[in-house]
Amino acid sequence: MSSIPKRLSGRLLNSFKSEKKIRQSFRLITGRSPINLALYKQAMRHSSVSSVNEQGIKNSYERLEYLGDAILGMIIAEYLYRAYPFKEEGFLTEIRAKIVNRESLNRLGQKIGLKELVKYNTSSRAHRSVYGDCMEALIGAVYLDHGFPYCKQFVIKKLIKPHYDLDELISKTTNFKSRLLEWSQKENKDLRFEIISEEDRKFTAQVFLNNDAMEKGYGFSKKKAEQDAARKTYEKLKIEE
């Protein structure tokens, strides 16, 4: 039998070393070695550098981001619910928003080392949110690879507790309506809030941007409903601080 050509052998060795290094990187970040490494690679791949698979779907982080976003929101919601048993819904919603907003997740993604793993086209606008997006995609990958109990442990023990000071977050009040108004003025966009319904003393507010209906918010006062609508719109638009 003929031996493997030296050039091919060298490529295989380099590929093996690269795979081993990537696997070690994710083990350090998540606390557990990947079983399905392909999931983690996909979580770090932006659509600007992805290929299209046989089903016509881009092999990028977007589907994993969708999954991770939902899982992250649920884990943090439960964590805050248990941590603050006597706080009202509005308080819990605001603290959760401070943790999962795009700017916060972008910083977190870079702090835990995703900057060395994420792949994207530097000429695209992806850099504005890519680390936060990949952070959520990574959570989706961990969930699929290791199941929900470990994913929950990863989020709380590796992400929330080491990187967020909840007391500090609580001390910083967030006025999303003011932020949204400032942004709209800077971008020369027409912004208005409308109370569109009131039922059983609960108000529903809606944001309109250039006459386009945006997000709805709810609360037991007009002010809280508008703040809720402003927060949801602020997050949907992924406005940078």
Number of Cβ within 10 Å of residue 170's Cβ equals: 14
Summarised one tens digit per residue, pLDDT across range 132-159 is 999 999 999 999 999 999 999 999 999 9
Query: Which burial class, exposed, middle or buried, applies to 159 when counting CB atoms under 10 A from its CB (0-12, 13-18, 19+)?
Result: buried
- pLDDT at 240 (0 to 100): 65
- Spell out the long-range contacts of 159-162 with Cβ–Cβ below 8 A and sequence spacing 24 or more: 159/108, 159/112, 160/76, 160/79, 160/99
Q: Beta partners for 205?
A: 195, 217
Question: Which three-class secondary structure string do you get for 22-53?
Answer: HHHHHHHHHCCCCCCHHHHHHHCECHHHCCEC
- pLDDT at 144 (0 to 100): 97
Spell out the domains of the chain, with CATH numbers in brackets. Answer: 32-171 (1.10.1520.10), 176-236 (3.30.160.20)
Q: So which residues are the catalytic ones?
A: 69, 136
114/130 Cα distance (integer angstroms):
10
pTM > 0.75 = no
Q: Which residue has the tokens 């709380």?
A: 156
- pLDDT at 4 (0 to 100): 53
Residues in the chain predicted with pLDDT less than 70, given as ranges, are 1-17, 49-58, 122-128, 172-174, 240-241
Q: Which residue has the tokens 């006025």?
A: 175
- pLDDT at 67 (0 to 100): 96
Number of Cβ within 10 Å of residue 130's Cβ equals: 22
Angle at which helix 222-236 crosses helix 89-100, to 10 degrees, equals: 20
Asked whether 182 and 166 are in contact (CB, 8 A), the reply is no
